Amino acid sequence: MNTITHLTPEWEFWLMENIERGCNSQTLVDAMVAKQFDPLFAGAIVYHYLQSAGRIDGAPVAPQAGAPAAAQRAQASGYRYEKPRIPMDQSVIRAGDRDVRVALRMDKPVVVVFDNVLSHEECDQLIALSRSKLTRSATVDPTTGQDMVIADRSSHGTFFRLREDDFIARIDERLAALMHWPITHAEDMQILNYQPGAEYKPHYDYFPPQDAGSNQHLSTAGQRVSTLVMYLNDVEEGGETVFPELGVAVPPRKGSAVYFEYCNSRSQVDPLTLHGGAPVRKGEKWIATKWLRERPFPHLLEQEAQRNGA
Ligand SMILES: O=C(O)CCC(=O)C(=O)O
Ligand SMILES: [Fe+2]
C-alpha cells in the first residue's frame, strides 16, 4: 500500500492544533503513521511545524548549553538514534594501514574529530593532484536532482573515482575501515578548495526525502548515511566546519578530519547534522570529503567482485 507524502489543509490544521495543545513530536508522528503517512515524511513535517511554532529553537546554541538543548531537539525531530557505526569507546581506531586517534566525540548525533587520518605527504599529494582539475562546485537541485552552481557554495572542487589509482585506493580502503562501512557503499572522494571569502552555507549531506530531486540519487545506492571531512591544510583564519544546531565548530588542521552520522536503519535522517564550511578569512582551505550510502553502488559491487577474482 502507498504511504501518504503530502499534507491536506485538514491535516495542517490538526498538526497546528495539537502542537498548540503541547503534544510531543513522537505522539504526532505515531498518530500520522497510524493513518498511513510515510514515517520519514511525518517526522520531517512534524519537525518543520514544531520549528515554525517556535517549539524548536533553530538558532545556534552556546556550547555549554549544547548537549541538553540538542538532545531535546533530536527528540523533537522524531529521529531514532541507533548503535553508532564506529566504536565510541576507543581512543585509537585501527583503520587499515593507519592508527587514527580520536580527538573529540559526541553522540546524538555521532560527531567525532579524528587526528592523523592522512599523513602530511598524503595531504600535499591530494592537493597537487587536484589543483589543475578544479571546477566551480555544484549542489543538487531540490526539484530536478541535477547538479547546479549556487552562491551558497563558493568553493572549487574535483573528484577521485574509487580506487582510481594505487594512491587513492590505499586511502579509500583506510576510510572504509575507519568509517566501518563497506567500500562498495562509498561515493567518489570529493576535493574542495576555498579561497578567502569562500564558504559552504549550512546544509544537510543527506538527500532531503521530501525533495523530488532526491529520488534519482536515492534509487542508485539509497540515502547517504555518514560523512568524513578531511582537512588537507592548516587554515590561517576561519574555514571551520560548523554545526549550528549543536554549537560546535571544528577548526581545520592538516591531516585531521570530522566524521558524522545522520541516517538510521529505517532511513530516517537527522536534522541536527546541519553543518557548513564557515567563510575562510585568511589563507585558503583544502578538504577531501567522503560520503557513504545505505546500499552498495552496483558498479562497485562488480568492480570489487572482479578484484577479488569472483
Ligand atoms: O568545508 C567544510 O568544512 C564542510 C564541507 C561539507 O560540508 C561537504 O563537503 O559536504
Ligand atoms: Fe556537507
The domain limits of the chain are 9-56, 92-307
**228 C-alpha to ligand 2 centroid (Å):** 9
Residue pair 215/304 in contact (Cβ under 8 Å)? The answer is no
CA-proximal residue: ligand 1, atom 1 (nearest): 277
Determine the pLDDT at residue 151: 62
Beta carbon of 275 within 6 Å of any ligand 1 atom? yes
Q: Is 169 helix (H, G, I), strand (E, B) or coil?
A: helix
Confidence check: pLDDT of 199 > 50: yes
Amino acid, res. 251: P
Question: How far apart are the C-alpha atoms of 17 and 242, rounded to whole Å?
Answer: 35
Residue pair 246/291 in contact (Cβ under 8 Å)? The answer is no
Q: Which atom of ligand 1 is nearest to the CA of 199?
A: 1
Question: How far apart are the C-alpha atoms of 250 and 248, rounded to whole Å?
Answer: 7
Confidence check: pLDDT of 67 > 60: no
Pick the CATH number of 92-307 from 1.25.10.10, 2.30.40.10, 3.30.410.40, 2.60.120.620: 2.60.120.620
**49 C-alpha to ligand 1 centroid (Å):** 28
Whole-number percent of the chain with pLDDT over 70: 86
DSSP states of 36-52 as a string? TB-HHHHHHHHHHHHHH
Confidence check: pLDDT of 290 > 90: yes
* HSE-up of residue 112 (Cα within 13 Å, Cβ side): 26
pLDDT tens, residue by residue, 114-139: 999 999 999 999 999 999 899 877 66
Beta carbon of 273 within 6 Å of any ligand 1 atom? no
Beta carbon of 289 within 6 Å of any ligand 1 atom? yes
Q: Which atom of ligand 1 is nearest to the CA of 285?
A: 1
Amino acid, res. 82: E
User: What ipTM did this prediction achieve?
Assistant: 0.99
| pTM for the full predicted model | 0.77
CA-proximal residue: ligand 1, atom 9 (nearest): 289
Strand partners of residue 303: none
- Where would I find the H helices in 160-297? 166-179, 215-221
pLDDT tens, residue by residue, 90-114: 999 999 999 999 999 999 999 999 9
Beta carbon of 187 within 6 Å of any ligand 1 atom? no
Amino acid, res. 91: S
Confidence check: pLDDT of 186 > 90: yes
Nearest to 292 by CA among 117, 168, 175: 175
Beta carbon of 205 within 6 Å of any ligand 1 atom? yes
CA-proximal residue: ligand 1, atom 2 (nearest): 277
Long-range own/partner contacts, residues 202-206 (CB < 8 A, 24 or more apart): 202/242, 202/244, 202/274, 202/275, 202/276, 203/139, 203/152, 203/274, 203/275, 203/276, 204/262, 204/269, 204/271, 204/273, 204/274, 205/262, 205/273, 205/275, 205/291, 206/262, 206/263, 206/269, 206/273
> 73-77, 164-168, 179-183, 284-288: which range is least confident on average?
73-77
Amino acid, res. 9: P
Beta carbon of 277 within 6 Å of any ligand 1 atom? yes
Confidence check: pLDDT of 59 > 70: no
**130 C-alpha to ligand 2 centroid (Å):** 19
Question: How far apart are the C-alpha atoms of 55 and 42, rounded to whole Å?
Answer: 17
Residue pair 53/19 in contact (Cβ under 8 Å)? The answer is yes
